[in-house]
Amino acid sequence: MPTTQDILQFHFSPTTFQQSAKKIIPITLASLNDHRIDKLQKITEEVGANPFPEPPNNLIPQVFRKFKNFIISKDTSFERRELRTLTYSLNYSEQSLTSIFSNENELKYALTLLESNWRDSFLVGLIDCFLKNWETIYPKSLEQVEHFINQKLDNYSGNRSSIASFKNNKRFFNSKNGDLILGDTIAKLNRPIQEATKILGVPESWFDYPYFSKVIVTYYERNKAKIADEVENLNDVLQKHNSSVTNKRLISKIIIQANQPEFAMVQDKIKKVAFTQIGDPSNISNWTAFENATEIEKREIIQGRNILNEWITQQFINVFFNVCINDERRKKFWLRFASKISSFKVYGPVHTKSILKRDEKITEYIDARFETVSSRRDVSAFILYIGDYMLIEFSNEGYACCAYKINSLNKPNLNYKLNSVDDLRNSSLPLAIQSDSNYYYTNEEGRLFHNENWQHKFNHWLNEKVFK
């Protein structure tokens, strides 16, 4: 009687199938793989294994929780792998559990635990923690870690290249001025600031750590005479470093330096860097001082923002009065007060916005500073905020300049889309200034027509009412 295999003509041999599976990879490919593996092993033997291996991210929460329990029970044991992970867990926190680094007593326990089971490989994680917390709000914890690292580096006599590099560069790890020394050294060696991690002997990925903030700033200070050539390079550095603190700290200094006639050609580059890395100076929240900023840094950030705002205001005045009005007198008049204008806004039809956007000097600022009106009439308004006043210039020569106090009931409501710039006018306002042969008579608010001798009259009114 025929079997099922005979009927289906299917004859399967498990032994034969198993033997053929062993030959699925050609001998030539298997030999090539063996050769490459052997080559990689030899390279590893020559240069050493990765000196900065980080533990898997999933291990850090586990070890962190285990240590928190250890603080309570004191009867938990740690394997060497867990202790190495612990050095990377000092910054970690979750839910209601604060970081070990933020608690001096817990940090002391952690360092004692590492001491009792010490391995030189623990140094990498500790230095990682140290540089991450360089500008910490927990200076006592930083001192603990620094003292522990220095003690281990002083006693180290091995031949691991990474740790030997740490020891040789110990002066750069001094929390008082190590970062300043490194920035100064790189500048004196005339080497690019991007090589900071290489000189220090740490992974390139650490370049975004807070430690490198003042390294970058010090490098700039030593090379500021060449700022015209360094702007683009420093912008690349800031992008790589990726720190809002360093952006404000450095860009403010650059703006202040460049606010001189000899740097006029580089101001446009600096404006773009500042606008990209920090934001529009009209938005004060973009330019608030960072935590732990010194009084000098706070003043520089405010000064840098004011100067940047002045540069942008000057450009808008130039373009607006050239393109929308073509009135050289009014342009020169308002340029004199650009430094006193805290912010401004332009209102007008869509096609005027499109025209202004064609000017590459102001195109990136238009969207934030131009409000369109529903009307298509070719009339625009330039609103200038100075002190406690809102001053409005119109592109049409038949319109008077309107001056409103910020808290006045006469001031136009800007909380909704305007039908036209005529909504910004108030015909019931008196004249801002009148005169006879002996005296000027001024009002708190008012209109000023651009007739004969208007510059002198309005200048008098500004000095008496706005700049008092």
Tell whether 441 and 314 lie within a shared domain.
yes
Question: Which among 137, 160, 148, 143 is positioned nearest to 110, based on CA atoms?
Answer: 148
In a domain, residue 100? The reply is yes
Residues 28 and 121 in one domain: no
Residue 72 lies in a domain: yes
Asked if 141 and 102 touch (Cβ cutoff 8 Å), the reply is yes
Q: Give pLDDT, residue 45.
A: 44
Q: Each residue of 410-445: pLDDT tens digit? A: 999 999 899 999 999 988 899 999 887 778 889 999
Beta bridge partners of 402: 392, 447
Identify the DSSP state of 94.
B
Q: Are residues 23 and 121 in the same domain?
A: no
**Rounded to whole angstroms, what are the CA distances from 257 to 59, 262, 265, 276, 305?**
48, 10, 13, 19, 13
- Tell whether 449 is covered by a domain: yes
Average pLDDT over residues 383-410: 93
* Alpha-carbon span 320 to 329, nearest angstrom: 13
Q: What is the pLDDT of residues 338-351, one digit of tens each?
A: 999 999 999 999 99
pLDDT beyond 70 at 3? no
Q: Are 424 and 400 in contact, with CB atoms under 8 Å apart?
A: no
Nearest to 393 by CA among 447, 463, 452: 447
Backbone angles phi, psi at 433, to 5 degrees: -150, 140
Same domain membership, residue 130 and residue 115: yes
Q: How far is CA 444 from the centre of its chain?
A: 42
Burial class for 326, CB neighbours closer than 10 Å (0-12, 13-18, 19+): exposed
**Between 332 and 159, whose confidence is greater?**
332
Q: Is 396 found in the same domain as 347?
A: yes
pLDDT of residue 35: 64
With contact defined as beta carbons under 8 Å apart, do 175 and 159 qualify?
A: no
**What type of residue sits at position 31?**
S
CA atoms lying within 13 Å on the CB side of residue 180: 5
Is the pLDDT score of 71 beyond 80?
yes
Phi–psi pair at 222, nearest 5 degrees: -80, -20
Q: Do 337 and 433 share a structural domain? A: yes
* Residue 55 shares a structural domain with residue 147: yes
Rounded Cα gap, residues 447 and 431, in angstroms: 5
List of residues 6+ apart from 335 with CB closer than 8 A: 314, 317, 318
- In this structure, the answer to whether residues 337 and 430 fall within a common structural domain is yes
d(CA 267, CA 271): 6
Q: How confident is the model over 291-305, as pLDDT tens digits?
A: 989 999 999 999 999
Based on the domain organization, do 39 and 144 belong to the same domain?
A: no
pLDDT at 64: 95
Distance in angstroms (rounded) separating the CA atoms of residues 308 and 335: 15
The share of the chain scoring above pLDDT 70, in percent, equals 88
- Per DSSP, helices labelled H in 358-451 are 363-369
Residue 278 belongs to some domain of the structure: no
Higher pLDDT, 129 or 439: 129
* pLDDT at residue number 129: 96
Is there a domain that residue 345 lies in? Answer: yes
As for how many domains the chain has, the answer is 3
Question: Which amino acid, one-letter code, is at 42?
Answer: K
pLDDT in tens, 191-223: 999 999 999 989 999 999 999 999 999 999 999
Grade residue 72 by pLDDT with cuts at 50, 70 and 90.
confident
pLDDT of 49 reads: 46
* Same domain, yes or no: 92 and 38: no
Same domain, 339 and 427: yes
Q: What is the mean pLDDT of the chain?
A: 89
Does residue 10 register a pLDDT over 80? no
Tell me, yes or no, whether 17 and 77 share the same domain: no
Rg (CA), the chain: 34
Spatial distance between the Cα atoms of 401 and 446, rounded to a whole number of angstroms = 8
Q: Give the end of a domain, one of 158, 183, 217.
A: 158
Does residue 31 carry a pLDDT above 70? no
Q: Which of 285, 350, 286, 355 is nearest to 320 (CA)?
A: 355
- 245-264 tens-digit pLDDT: 999 999 999 999 999 999 99
Q: Is residue 315 part of a domain?
A: yes
Q: Which amino acid is at 372?
A: T
Q: Tell which wins on pLDDT, 36 or 245.
A: 245
Q: Considering the domain boundaries, does residue 203 fall inside one? A: no
Mean pLDDT of all residues in 133-151: 96
Range with lowest mean pLDDT among 63-77, 105-119, 292-306, 343-357: 63-77
Per-residue exposure over 415-453, b if at least 16 CB sit within 10 Å of its own CB, e if not: eeebebbbbbbbeebebbbeeeeeeeebeebbbbebeee
Residue 97 lies in a domain: yes
pTM of the model: 0.81
Predicted pLDDT of residue 436: 79
Name the percent of the chain lying above pLDDT 90: 70
State mean pLDDT over 15-29.
63
Q: Name the strand (E) or helix (H) holding 384.
A: strand 381-386
Q: Which domain holds residue 42?
A: 4-47
What pLDDT sits at residue 56? 66
Q: Which of 32, 47, 62 is the last residue of a domain?
A: 47
